[in-house]
Structure 1
Amino acid sequence: MVGCIESLQQSAETHGLNLHEEMHKFYNQYYSSDIMKLALYGNQELDQLVEWAVQKFSGVKSKGNTVPKLPEHPVGIEQLGKCIYYETVNDIHQVVIEFPVPETKALYRYDPDIYITHLIGHESTGSLLSYLKQKGWAVGLSAGSNHNDIEGYGKLYISINATPEGLEHHADVVQAVFAYINLAASSGPQEYVFNELCTITKIGFDNRKKIDAVTWVQNYMHIIHNEYLAPEHALSKDSAFEKLDSDAIMHYLAFLNPGNYRLFIGASKHALVKCSDVELHFGTAYHVASLPASLTTELVNNCATIDELCLPAKNPFIPDDLSIKNPNMLGDQAILKPTLLKFNKDIELWFKQDDQFNTPKGSIVLEVELARVTLAKLQAHMDSMFDTTYIKMCMVGNFDEEDALSTARDVQSILKPMMSYIYCGPLINLKDQAISLTVEGEANPAYVTLHINKFVHDMRQKLASISDEQFDNRVASQVNILEERMKNVDEEAGTYYAFISTGSYDFARYGKKVACLKTLVKSNLLEFWDKHINPSTAPDYKRLDSQMWSSKIWCPTASDLATYSSKTLALYGCMRSEGNAELDIAKLDGFINAAVNERMKNPDADVGADDLVEKLKAACLSESGAAYIPGESAEVSAHTRTALQLAINEQDAFFNYELKCQSDFTNIGMAKTPDGVWMLNDGAKFKATQRLHRVNAPVESLVPKYKD
């Protein structure tokens, strides 16, 4: 559930309620041990965990409550038969079919919904996804059910990642979905499908990978809130299948009919409808329409069969040998890097046998590098894009060397090698490092930049004020993080491949960091900050600002960026976002420049926020100020007041870019702003004038174990 003070306050006011009182009522009524579950996870003895549970939670009172249940499914008859069009932020296309269904918590030993979604979601020959891909209508599909959000009820969804053509043919996509559902119903429940599902889930449970404690207890709490769950199945619920219950499956399938669903269609732009309604809290544009009869009543008895669809064949890839390849490798002293088996013009193969997790699992990371690929070539030559490739592979887990070599040969037999070439040029200077600050939010980037400047300015004093003990504790916490053992094979393979893909092959990097951290003292940090980060002391201060302006807010033009300082743009953007569209940016810029000059003449004067607001009103808001500032300066939002103070009181000398950069970059597609900052305004020219760099140089020579 998601909410905020605005949504709660608005809802309370609409119903004539006092939010504070209602929160207390809710707490007093529902904060009851009767409807709570508790999970403690730790490496302590069970007796210790029990003792802590009693000490910390025995004070939660029992009020005899039961979990409140709705009298009927929240997706009622009024919501069914509807098509909800909505606008997405990203350029994606989605078709989602949602069915209201009964809750199946009591049927966890048979899980009819799991059986059905397994069939609908399979991707082999004859599957729904295979058919939609063949038609060019979809690139992905998932099916699942949710019984946790609404006590007593559930939802089953089929989500399709569509192509633009698939969105145009969404009616055909929906008909194909019901054709497959009808196929599953007419074929009846299949014993072999259920048995495969049982085997897969049991293997997954017996060899589940370790995850962090917080995620584990969160997942576990969803499970044990099932009032029908037997104690012996508290941990193994998802693999507790007992037998195929054909009646339960057919009963559940009956709810997946054309009269019991609603359709969601998502895209960044919709050609056929206008999304004129706006969701109150998230601002999502949407439009609700009734589904045509061809997708509801007419589809009940006239759903055509599709010859290309069929139930999945028996799965030949379910393992029957789960033995450990080399159990003698397991020990306390883990090998910290993979072995390079092959390294030539066609393939780079890394391998490491499991020596930590004692599980019959493995992870294969495969990267295929394409020769001179572009988006246009990718779209035009999809079938032939793997004709010339270079392969990088990393295999970690329950394999031996022959498994790795054999798998590499199989991959090479499918993918054609790339023509060898030699690149001659300078390597990336690994001595040039950077610190990155990333801020996401709704404020305009110029305003965020002012805050970053203030942060950098103030941080030096904060670092100096840290005690030696606090510094040592922070260092120790970082050492603990770096020394934490990997939890599973997938994490180990991903960690190794991160070093492979960057070209550094620095598998001992974490150990080097730990060794460096253990020698670090506070004076080292201050020295580093003054030498590289502090603009007033760093001899070669460099900084790159990358700003992404949302289409939802006012965005400066190229002319604005070249004409006005970042202070002006920041304050103007804040005031525009709060309704003052008539504000003259040139007049505001003149006010800021005059105020900054006045402050520089009296650098010790601390101009208060109220004084600044009054001066702003007099200089820029005399005509339009009534709409923006009704009267008292206190009514100005905290957002704008902060922007005004930052714009006027920013440490200009501290960030004097003119003194730091004397070069002229106009010939490489850049223009100089009033702040003395070089702004990229011609992306194509800038890209064309940059020298090509190759990947990082490896920290050691790459010598494969086996030659070609």
Structure 2
Amino acid sequence: MENGINLREQILKWYRDYYHGGLMKLVVIGGVMSKKAPPENLQFKAERPIWKAGKLYRLEPVGDFHMLYLTWTLPCLHQHHLKKPAEYLAHLLGHEGWGSLHFYFKARGWATYLAAGVGSGCIYRTSVAYVFEVSILLTDSGLEKMFDIIGIVYQYIKLLRQVSPQEWIFRELQDIGNMEFKFTEEEHQNVYASRLSENLLLYPAEYINYGSFAYEIWDEELIEYVLGFFTPENIRVDVVSKSSIKSEDFKCEPWFGSKYTEEDISPSLMDLWKDPSEIDVSLHLPSKNEFIPCDFSIRSDNSCHDPANISSPRCIIDEPFMKLWYKLDTTFKLPRALVAKLETSVTPVDEKLEIKLTIPSSFQLVHC
């Protein structure tokens, strides 16, 4: 007993309510076909919202960093797995190119990392709601500009409402999804079975392999509908920073004893976020990506007998600042390349001078 609650009885009740066959998904990998009919689908309902509206939570981390989480609840989108409205919005809110939130914050020294989207785990994609999150790793100056940053996020959301959903962006995501599915690495059977069983909670059985990659139906109205949930009344703000809790008037989370404070977001800020008076001219949609591949034919089929392609790698770019070596793959015939990059500075640098170098983290080569 604790605080008048019988913990054992509560655990047993939770077990009886949720640990039964009707809530389970099973995947068996083998060579024998099953002829058993699947059980009828069960529907569950719960009251929304799943948290208090208009709240700011300050939490104390173990490490020394500043992370800002902006979270909204969306309706269940299970039935829209071929339309992917949340993924469309995640692509734009989490973009890193010119005109993006990430580019804006990084240029001002406010943030070094930004990600957006619905989490991949089933806890974020339930029959009750989807949980969409924008996470931003703040600098010290970014922590001081936290409310300005949230305001800029809402400026970008207003921009998305004004320009309306763009089909060409959806088609780019469609091409990327098809490419990623086509060249997905083979998984160990244990991992494969586990992933498929989780996907059965999200997709029809015929889509458990392809569901997360499928962008098949363009639905502008659905994207606008989902975008309507990105309101200040539906947001939860979490600030994780050692500098965030300055008062002794904090609460302790009951299971792990983590310190946190709960604050109301001021009505003036809520009104400002609801309808920003202007949109910064630096914010705009990304440009069309001309480098998304659609042709995956392998050139080695026609040139594998060329002696120049059978010999050792040859240097095809020889410049003072760069050398590029190339050898045609005639064995595996996949449109991939391995790139090793070494950068050295020949100029003495004052040890007090901080140097920051940004390079692309990954890229795709179409033909090898």
TM-score interval (norm. to shorter): 0.7 to 0.9
**Paired residue for 2:230?**
256
2:20 is matched with 32
Unaligned 5+ segments in structure 1 are 1-11, 331-337, 387-394, 401-708
Instruction: Using the TM superposition, give the Cα deviation of residue 211 of structure 1 relative to its aligned residue in structure 2, in angstroms.
Output: 2.8
Over 3 Å counting, the alpha-carbon distance change for 1:258 and 1:167 in structure 2 is same
Task: Name the residue aligned to 1:220.
Answer: 196
Task: Tell me: CA distance 1:288–1:357, structure 2 relative to 1, closer, same or farther (3 Å).
Answer: farther
| Contact 2:175 2:294 (8 Å CA) reproduced | no
State the alpha-carbon separation in 1 of the partners of residues 291 and 138 from structure 2. Answer: 28
| Count of residue pairs brought into register by the alignment | 353
Q: Does 1:304 align with 2:292?
A: no
Letter in 1 for 2:265: L
- Where do 1:281-680 residues align within 5 Å? 281-327=255-301, 354=329, 357-370=332-345, 376-377=351-352, 379=354, 381-382=355-356, 400=368
Which structure ranks higher in relative contact order (CA pairs < 8 Å, sequence separation ≥ 6)?
2
C-alpha contact (below 8 Å) 1:178/1:303 kept by paired residues: no
Q: Is the 8 A contact 2:296 2:367 kept in 1?
A: no
- Measured in 2, the distance between the counterparts of 1:374 and 1:89 equals 34
Change (3 A) 1:170 1:151: same
CA distance in 2, matches of 1:294, 1:375: 46
Q: Which residue matches 2:242?
A: 268
Displacement of 1:163: 1.2
SS, match of residue 252 in structure 1: helix
Contact 1:364/1:396, CA 8 A, preserved across alignment:
no
Shift of residue 13, structure 1, vs aligned partner: 3.6
Contact 2:44 2:128 in 1 (8 A): no
Question: Which of the two has higher C-alpha Rg?
Answer: 1
Change (3 A) 1:399 1:282: farther
**Which 5+ residue runs of structure 2 have no aligned equivalent?**
305-311
Query: What's the offset of the Cα at 1:270?
Result: 3.1
2:308 matched residue in structure 1:
none
**Take 2:28 and 2:301, find their aligned partners in 1: how far apart are those partners?**
32
- Contact 1:101–1:155 (8 Å) recurs in 2: yes
Q: Shift in Å at residue 256 of structure 1?
A: 0.5
Kept in 1, the 8 Å contact 2:155–2:280? The answer is yes
SS in structure 1 of the partner of residue 97 of structure 2: coil
Question: Secondary structure at the residue paired with 2:343?
Answer: strand
What do the CA deviations read for 1:288-315 (whole angstroms, capped 9, x no partner)?
2111223212332344311111111111
Q: Give the alignment of 1:16-27 within 5 angstroms.
A: 16-17=5-6, 19=8, 23-27=11-15
Task: Supply the distance in 1 between the matched residues of 2:185 and 2:247 (Cα, whole angstroms).
Answer: 46
Render the CA deviation track for 1:636-678: whole Å, top value 9, x for unaligned: xxxxxxxxxxxxxxxxxxxxxxxxxxxxxxxxxxxxxxxxxxx
Identity of aligned residues (%): 26
2:172 paired residue number = 196
Q: Which of 125, 137, 140 is the aligned partner of 1:161?
A: 137
Residues 349 and 92 of structure 1: CA distance in aligned 2, closer, same or farther (over 3 Å): farther
Q: 1:18 to 1:89 in 2, by over 3 A?
A: closer
- Out of 25, 39, 46, which is 1:70 matched to? 46
What's the TM-score once normalised by structure 2's chain length? 0.81
Superposition deviation, residue 247 in structure 1: 1.0
In 1, Cα distance between equivalents of 2:264 and 2:41: 40
Q: Does 1:108 align with 2:97?
A: no
The question of whether the paired residues in 1 share the 8 Å contact of 2:253 and 2:259 is answered with: yes
Residue type of the alignment partner of 1:241: Y
1:322–1:396 distance in 2 versus 1, CA, 3 Å? closer
Normalising by structure 1, we get a TM-score of 0.45
Which deviates further from its counterpart, 240-249 or 95-104?
240-249
Deviations 1:246-273 (A, max 9, x none): 1111111111012220111122323865
Equivalent of 2:59 in 76, 86, 89: 86
2:309 is matched with none
